[in-house]
Structure 1
Amino acid sequence: MIVILLIGGLLCWLTARANEHAAKWVALVTMLIDAALICGVCFTQRVSSINTWIVDIKTQWIPAYGIGFHLAMDGLSMVMLLLTFFLGTLAVLCSWNEIKQRTGFYYFNLLCTLAGIAGVFVAMDLFLFYFFWEVMLVPMYFLIAIWGDTNRRYAAYKFFIFTQAGGLLMLIAILSLYFIHAAQSGVYSYDYFDLLNTTLQPSAARWIMMGFLVAFVIKLPMVPLHNWLPDAHSEAPTAGSLILAGLLLKTGAYGIMRFVLPLFPQAAEAIAWWAMLLAVIGIVYGAMLAFAQTDIKRLIAYTSVSHMGFVLLGIFSFNAVAMQGVVMQMITHGISTGALFVLAGMLKERLHTRDIESMGGLWSSLPAMGAVGMLFTMASLGLPMLGNFIAEFLVLMGAFTANVPLTVIATFGLVFSAIYSLRFVQKVFLGPSTFQKPLPDFSAREFVMMAALSIAIVWLGVYPQPVLDMVQHAVQAVVTK
């Protein structure tokens, strides 16, 4: 799957020299092939009964330094890959008419970013994991810096500096773990399963864990390390915002679940209260700042800070119910917030503004867009029968057993999310109309995109059991380490 993305990206770049329109089709076909492959794996495996790795590929890469090419997939990885290729396909579709310059290079960077994200979700060698972590960073920088909005270079620099600083801390932590393991066992190895057996002194475990954790919470993002996110979201092209919100933020949560908790269980438990406190601050702070925004993309970006606070809260609750809620939140947030960013891109294309104060009364001109906007706004605020409600309910139910006061405060975040969500609908779709000329509603391409997202969020709200079954054993393994 990763190789197909890289080859597809290269073909986009090469074919665009002859025909720029052909590059779009190459990118779309590439994404559909990968989506078909992961769906094939999903439907041919009896995931609910699996308690081991579904796929485990291991071969030597640089044996002199203990670096192996080790990729493995369990239920958690499979769910994240399904989300990656679903949103990746939509990212190609929403770029169809938006990107008019350097089309081939654009799709090359988009597919390389997705290849890096897919690699992060399956890499079981820490050197390889770090390699993929950096692979997804550089092309995303180009997507923002070249095809972004007015202040794109500033946003791209800030995104790169924040994430690169976190990545370097993680590299130091990986090397520390590597050398400590070698001193104990006499074997140099970056393999995840080898490093799980490393015995660490409490002080060493705490410092090494912080190296991993800081890198992951920057990407999550956690307050106060969230500063890069609103600028990156607001300046990125629509597909860039979709990939950032739907997938890049999830790599941080995935990293905590896959590496921080299993490798450093005691050290992680020692800081759990502080992590939950920062999560609750993020939930409330993100919601308050979202309410204050007039730029539609910055508003949605701050909702991400608030919603990802629930992810951090659930992870450090250390129980299976909250952890299943975390996985659901990662998926449903990717779908609902991604859909809102796609909707913001459509509105910008029609109105040539992102200022919600300049909008109003759009429901009469764009009834289908208004209905879909209402659906995903309701999903974002956690309305029952939609996916986000299941996720937040499970997180809060699990967190309640770990820390009652912080969970009660976090619950108020749902009230705040209702306030900023209803303000968004009121300002954009209701009230007196500010545009006299008729506006085009969904095109066929846009209708297909929003229909796919709408079906996904409703299905996850009505029948989330397949996802919960898929991740059950992976979640249980994380909690019991």
Structure 2
Amino acid sequence: MTDFPFLLAMIAVPAVGAAVVAALPRGSDELAKRLALGISAVVLLLAVLATVAFDPDGERFQLTMSASWIPDFGVDFALGVDGIALVLLLLVGVLVPVVVLASWRDTAPGRRSMRTFFAWVLLLEAMMVGVFAATDVFLFYVFFEAMLVPMYFLIGSFGGPRRQYAAIKFFLYSLVGGLIMLAAVIGLYVVSTSELGQGTFAFDALRQLDIDPGVQKLLFLGFFIAFAIKAPLVPFHTWLPDAGAEAPIGGAVLLVGVLDKVGTFGLIRYCLPLFPDAARDLAPFVLVLAVAGILYAALLAMGQTDLKRLVSYTSIAHFGFITLGIFAFTTEAATGAVLYMVNHGIATGLLFLVVGMLIARGGSRRISDYGGVATQAPRLAGVFLIAGLASLALPGTNSFVSEFLVLVGSFPAVPLFTVLATLGMILAALYVLIVYQRTMHGPPRGVLLVDDGTPEPAGTDGATATLTAPAPARLRVRDLDRLEMAVAAPMVALIIVLGFYPQPLIDLIEPAVAATMQDVGAAPAGIAPATTDAGGTD
């Protein structure tokens, strides 16, 4: 079973599927939907089978394959996964079918076709699998940059009123970061040539290099800036609120749920093992950015009037926690950070989906246009509540385990940064519960009130009724239907199941994280149930 090329199949199936869907004749939107759903379901099945074939106690990288691609420059088409990449592939496998179902009734703006939308989604899935599965640094860079294209068109062609501005801003930010990383990739190749006598981009070979500390810092910064933009970390974050607000709901789920994880994945996969001295030296600087992002984004989220921008700012705050866990250099914190990547994708993905369902009913993204929705749509309000509670990391939800591991693992190593980060938990409770109370409870207001043209009764002062404002009538808001429940149900189930039993994912993640901590020179302690020392430091 392990000889089957799972990773290559997970790239090829959606890539070929995207071409097939794009080639369908005009007017084939219904067939395109069914094909996209079936293809994404096959990728999910492959991800599950790959997980079954993966041995957490085996070699660091498994399910590997390699073929010479550009031999003159030592570039191979090399694929393989450790536990960190594997759980993110599972996240991709889960979210794409959910996005296809959530977009089932969407209509394309102007003369565009939903057939094209689903083709871009499938191509994006292939690129996302490639970026997590690549074990050749140059191949990783190719997938890293290639992801920009389908997401650019998803935002620019199918997004909101300011979609073109948001798409160009997203593309330019990411492109600049990618070009900086390209310079660092070339520098890494030059260093490998001088040390090994032949240039290489193989990850296993590169992490064995003894790079001069000064050169390490330059190369580290080249990779870090690209990943900080992608993550995004403050102050490189300004593209995300615009992109998240203007992207179609399905695109926003993939943008915040998966694409942004490429940034934090790159930090732990490449920045730490390849440049360990630079990572330790520059860790205080990175931790300042992480904590600043937690607090700054949480405060901005509290002041938002746009539902989609609010969710985007909550994601920036969560990425601060993930970065804190990575640069605390302990197994507990880093395992929590990787688990946070998965759980954030699920919780925030569901939050974006339910916000999209609310906007579809009210036709407005403004928080002030909603109130009292729970009385008319209790199932929608219930899903909104679960997504919100997961976002603020309430015990019993999946995000709590991640945040707890990050804080417990970070405190012995970086206590000041950890204490400051805990303030973000308080702010998260505020912005989530406030927006829930304003939209779901209280008297109906905004889009739930319509003018029925009936004048109010005459006042006691004898004024005629024709001079008074017409009485507002309550607009009926439908609750979640079967399709929408089918979209939300698996996400809700994952939030609850992983909130109470995250150990299977932790078992996959921890060995890879421990190996990374060894690369960076830390002496981490394990967090498996059989381990007695649960408060290990570096």
Q: Which bin holds the TM-score, normalised by the shorter protein? A: over 0.9
Given the alignment, which residue of 430, 447, 469 partners 2:485? 447
Q: 1:16 to 1:168 in 2, by over 3 A?
A: same
Contact 1:16/1:22, CA 8 A, preserved across alignment:
no
Instruction: Please list the CA deviations of residues 228-287 of structure 1 after superposition, one character each: whole Å capped at 9, or x if unmatched.
Output: 000000000001100011001111011111100000011000011111111111000010
Q: Which residue of 1 aligns with 2:280?
A: 269
Residue 193 of structure 2 aligns to which amino acid in structure 1? A
Q: Matched residues in 1 for 2:99 and 2:281: separation?
A: 40
TM-score by length of 2: 0.88
Q: CA deviation at 1:17?
A: 2.7
Q: Which residue of 2 aligns with 1:81?
A: 89
Q: 1:16 to 1:300 in 2, by over 3 A?
A: farther
* 1:135 corresponds to 2:146: yes
Given the alignment, which residue of 81, 101, 106 partners 1:98? 106
Q: State the superposition RMSD in angstroms.
A: 1.0
Q: Secondary structure at the match of 1:289?
A: helix
Given the alignment, which residue of 387, 390, 404 partners 1:393? 404
Structure with the higher fraction of residues in helix conformation: 1
Contact 1:127/1:190, CA 8 A, preserved across alignment:
yes
Q: Which residue of 2 aligns with 1:37?
A: 46
Q: Secondary structure at the match of 2:220?
A: helix
Residue 217 of structure 1 aligns to which amino acid in structure 2? A
Q: Matched residues in 2 for 1:116 and 1:345: separation?
A: 25
* 1:319 corresponds to 2:330: yes
Gaps of 5+ in 1: none
TM-score by length of 1: 0.98
Q: Which residue of 2 aligns with 1:69?
A: 77
Contact 1:16/1:103, CA 8 A, preserved across alignment:
no
Bigger Rg, which one: 2
Q: Which residue of 1 aligns with 2:342?
A: 331
* 1:285 corresponds to 2:293: no
Q: Secondary structure at the match of 2:135?
A: coil
Q: CA deviation at 1:44?
A: 4.0
Q: CA deviation at 1:46?
A: 4.2
Q: CA deviation at 1:366?
A: 0.6
Q: Which residue of 1 aligns with 2:466?
A: none
Q: Which residue of 2 aligns with 1:6?
A: 15
Q: Which residue of 2 aligns with 1:375?
A: 386
Contact 1:55/1:73, CA 8 A, preserved across alignment:
yes
Contact 2:44/2:93, CA 8 A, preserved across alignment:
yes
Q: Matched residues in 1 for 2:25 and 2:381: separation?
A: 36
Q: Matched residues in 2 for 1:185 and 1:99: separation?
A: 55
* 1:107 corresponds to 2:118: yes
Q: Which residue of 1 aligns with 2:354?
A: 343
Contact 1:112/1:135, CA 8 A, preserved across alignment:
no
Q: CA deviation at 1:189?
A: 1.4
Residue 128 of structure 2 aligns to which amino acid in structure 1? I
Q: CA deviation at 1:11?
A: 1.0
Contact 1:51/1:474, CA 8 A, preserved across alignment:
no
Instruction: Please list the CA deviations of residues 289-318 of structure 1 after superposition, one character each: whole Å capped at 9, or x if unmatched.
Output: 000001000001000011110001000000
Q: Matched residues in 2 for 1:218 and 1:18: separation?
A: 38
Given the alignment, which residue of 203, 211, 228 partners 2:214? 203
Contact 2:400/2:499, CA 8 A, preserved across alignment:
yes
Q: Matched residues in 2 for 1:338 and 1:214: separation?
A: 25
Q: Matched residues in 2 for 1:271 and 1:45: separation?
A: 34
Q: CA deviation at 1:50?
A: 2.9
Instruction: Please list the CA deviations of residues 40-92 of structure 1 after superposition, one character each: whole Å capped at 9, or x if unmatched.
Output: 22234443x33432211011111112111100012111100000010111111
Matches within 5 A, 1:95-244: 95-100=103-108, 101-244=112-255
Q: Matched residues in 2 for 1:338 and 1:309: separation?
A: 18
Q: Matched residues in 1 for 2:286 and 2:54: separation?
A: 36
Q: Matched residues in 2 for 1:164 and 1:16: separation?
A: 33
Q: Secondary structure at the match of 1:72?
A: strand
Q: CA deviation at 1:392?
A: 0.6
Q: 1:469 to 1:19 in 2, by over 3 A?
A: same
Q: Matched residues in 2 for 1:193 and 1:302: separation?
A: 36
Q: Secondary structure at the match of 1:271?
A: helix
Q: 1:361 to 1:18 in 2, by over 3 A?
A: closer
Q: CA deviation at 1:18?
A: 5.5
Q: Matched residues in 2 for 1:234 and 1:464: separation?
A: 31
Q: Matched residues in 2 for 1:370 and 1:82: separation?
A: 28
Q: 1:68 to 1:45 in 2, by over 3 A?
A: closer
Instruction: Please list the CA deviations of residues 177-199 of structure 1 after superposition, one character each: whole Å capped at 9, or x if unmatched.
Output: 00111122111211111211222
Given the alignment, which residue of 411, 414, 427 partners 1:416? 427
Residue 12 of structure 2 aligns to which amino acid in structure 1? V
* 1:253 corresponds to 2:236: no
Residue 30 of structure 1 aligns to which amino acid in structure 2? I
Q: Matched residues in 2 for 1:126 and 1:99: separation?
A: 39
Residue 451 of structure 1 aligns to which amino acid in structure 2? A
Contact 2:92/2:129, CA 8 A, preserved across alignment:
yes
Instruction: Please list the CA deviations of residues 377-429 of structure 1 after superposition, one character each: whole Å capped at 9, or x if unmatched.
Output: 11111110111111111001111011111111100100000000111111110
Q: Matched residues in 1 for 2:165 and 2:241: separation?
A: 12
* 1:464 corresponds to 2:472: no
Q: Secondary structure at the match of 1:15?
A: coil
Q: How many residues align?
A: 480
Given the alignment, which residue of 13, 24, 42 partners 1:15? 24
Q: Matched residues in 2 for 1:288 and 1:163: separation?
A: 25
Q: Secondary structure at the match of 2:26?
A: coil
Instruction: Please list the CA deviations of residues 298-351 of structure 1 after superposition, one character each: whole Å capped at 9, or x if unmatched.
Output: 001000011110001000000000011101110111111111111111111110
Q: Matched residues in 1 for 2:190 and 2:107: separation?
A: 46
Q: Which residue of 2 aligns with 1:364?
A: 375
Percent identity of equivalent pairs: 39
Q: Matched residues in 2 for 1:20 and 1:98: separation?
A: 11
Residue 64 of structure 2 aligns to which amino acid in structure 1? D
Gaps of 5+ in 2: 1-9, 449-473, 520-538
Q: CA deviation at 1:94?
A: 1.2
Q: Matched residues in 2 for 1:302 and 1:86: separation?
A: 23
Q: Matched residues in 1 for 2:101 and 2:88: separation?
A: 20
